[in-house]
Structure 1
Amino acid sequence: MLVNYDYNHQNGTHKDLFEITSCDVKSYQTNGYYAKVEQYITRAENTFGEILKNPALG
Protein backbone atom coordinates (compact mmCIF):
# COMPACT_ATOMS: atom_id res chain seq x y z
CA MET A 1 0.00 0.00 0.00
CA LEU A 2 2.82 2.40 0.83
CA VAL A 3 4.29 2.13 -2.69
CA ASN A 4 0.92 3.17 -4.15
CA TYR A 5 1.12 6.46 -2.25
CA ASP A 6 4.87 7.00 -2.69
CA TYR A 7 4.68 9.42 -5.62
CA ASN A 8 8.33 10.35 -5.02
CA HIS A 9 9.51 6.72 -5.39
CA GLN A 10 11.11 7.12 -8.82
CA ASN A 11 12.88 10.33 -7.81
CA GLY A 12 14.18 8.97 -4.51
CA THR A 13 14.85 5.32 -5.28
CA HIS A 14 15.69 5.48 -8.99
CA LYS A 15 17.14 8.99 -9.28
CA ASP A 16 20.69 7.86 -10.06
CA LEU A 17 19.66 4.93 -12.26
CA PHE A 18 17.46 7.03 -14.58
CA GLU A 19 19.36 10.30 -14.04
CA ILE A 20 16.25 12.17 -12.89
CA THR A 21 16.95 15.86 -12.32
CA SER A 22 13.52 16.99 -11.08
CA CYS A 23 10.04 15.70 -10.32
CA ASP A 24 7.15 18.16 -10.10
CA VAL A 25 3.82 16.94 -8.73
CA LYS A 26 0.95 18.88 -10.32
CA SER A 27 -1.91 17.15 -8.51
CA TYR A 28 -2.45 14.41 -5.93
CA GLN A 29 -5.87 12.89 -5.26
CA THR A 30 -6.64 9.93 -3.00
CA ASN A 31 -9.74 7.80 -3.30
CA GLY A 32 -9.96 4.82 -0.97
CA TYR A 33 -7.33 2.27 -1.95
CA TYR A 34 -5.75 4.20 -4.80
CA ALA A 35 -4.32 7.57 -5.62
CA LYS A 36 -4.11 9.56 -8.82
CA VAL A 37 -0.89 11.54 -9.17
CA GLU A 38 -0.05 13.88 -12.05
CA GLN A 39 3.67 14.52 -12.18
CA TYR A 40 6.29 15.73 -14.61
CA ILE A 41 9.75 14.18 -14.50
CA THR A 42 12.81 15.79 -16.07
CA ARG A 43 15.77 13.59 -16.93
CA ALA A 44 19.32 14.48 -17.89
CA GLU A 45 20.28 14.51 -21.56
CA ASN A 46 22.17 11.26 -21.96
CA THR A 47 24.93 10.58 -24.44
CA PHE A 48 24.82 7.51 -26.67
CA GLY A 49 27.69 6.03 -24.65
CA GLU A 50 25.73 6.42 -21.40
CA ILE A 51 22.73 4.67 -22.95
CA LEU A 52 24.94 1.79 -24.11
CA LYS A 53 26.30 1.39 -20.57
CA ASN A 54 22.84 1.66 -19.00
CA PRO A 55 20.03 0.67 -21.43
CA ALA A 56 17.42 1.75 -18.84
CA LEU A 57 18.23 5.34 -19.85
CA GLY A 58 16.83 4.66 -23.31
Structure 2
Amino acid sequence: MEKLGKSIAIMLASAALIGLLVILFNPTYRKTAVCILKNESTNSPVWQSNSDYYPDLVPKTGEK
Protein backbone atom coordinates (compact mmCIF):
# COMPACT_ATOMS: atom_id res chain seq x y z
CA MET A 1 0.00 0.00 0.00
CA GLU A 2 2.87 2.35 0.81
CA LYS A 3 4.40 1.66 -2.60
CA LEU A 4 1.11 2.59 -4.29
CA GLY A 5 1.04 5.94 -2.48
CA LYS A 6 4.60 6.68 -3.55
CA SER A 7 3.75 5.80 -7.16
CA ILE A 8 0.73 8.09 -7.15
CA ALA A 9 2.79 10.92 -5.64
CA ILE A 10 5.43 10.49 -8.36
CA MET A 11 2.77 10.55 -11.09
CA LEU A 12 1.17 13.67 -9.60
CA ALA A 13 4.52 15.45 -9.35
CA SER A 14 5.38 14.44 -12.93
CA ALA A 15 2.06 15.75 -14.24
CA ALA A 16 2.52 19.04 -12.38
CA LEU A 17 6.04 19.42 -13.79
CA ILE A 18 4.88 18.70 -17.34
CA GLY A 19 2.05 21.22 -16.94
CA LEU A 20 4.49 23.85 -15.70
CA LEU A 21 6.83 23.18 -18.62
CA VAL A 22 3.96 23.56 -21.09
CA ILE A 23 3.05 26.93 -19.55
CA LEU A 24 6.68 28.08 -19.61
CA PHE A 25 7.45 27.08 -23.20
CA ASN A 26 4.13 27.72 -24.99
CA PRO A 27 3.61 31.47 -25.49
CA THR A 28 -0.18 31.17 -25.73
CA TYR A 29 -0.49 29.34 -22.43
CA ARG A 30 2.11 31.62 -20.84
CA LYS A 31 0.09 34.72 -21.77
CA THR A 32 -3.08 33.02 -20.55
CA ALA A 33 -1.45 32.29 -17.18
CA VAL A 34 -0.38 35.93 -16.89
CA CYS A 35 -3.90 37.12 -17.75
CA ILE A 36 -5.41 34.80 -15.14
CA LEU A 37 -2.99 36.08 -12.50
CA LYS A 38 -3.97 39.67 -13.40
CA ASN A 39 -7.68 38.67 -13.24
CA GLU A 40 -8.10 39.57 -16.93
CA SER A 41 -9.01 36.14 -18.26
CA THR A 42 -11.13 37.55 -21.10
CA ASN A 43 -7.95 39.03 -22.63
CA SER A 44 -6.20 35.67 -22.82
CA PRO A 45 -5.59 34.08 -26.23
CA VAL A 46 -7.27 30.84 -25.13
CA TRP A 47 -10.44 32.69 -24.05
CA GLN A 48 -10.55 34.63 -27.32
CA SER A 49 -10.01 31.47 -29.36
CA ASN A 50 -12.80 29.71 -27.46
CA SER A 51 -15.17 32.64 -27.94
CA ASP A 52 -14.50 32.54 -31.70
CA TYR A 53 -14.85 28.77 -31.92
CA TYR A 54 -17.77 28.33 -29.48
CA PRO A 55 -19.81 31.56 -29.76
CA ASP A 56 -22.91 30.02 -28.13
CA LEU A 57 -21.03 28.90 -25.01
CA VAL A 58 -18.89 31.93 -24.20
CA PRO A 59 -20.77 35.09 -23.15
CA LYS A 60 -19.90 38.27 -25.00
CA THR A 61 -17.85 40.87 -23.13
CA GLY A 62 -20.10 42.83 -20.79
CA GLU A 63 -22.81 40.14 -20.66
CA LYS A 64 -23.55 38.01 -17.62
TM-score (norm 1): 0.24
Bigger fraction of residues in strand: 1
Greater RCO structure (CA 8 Å; 6+ sep):
1
* Larger-gyration structure (1/2): 2
TM-score by length of 2: 0.23
Larger helix proportion of the pair: 2
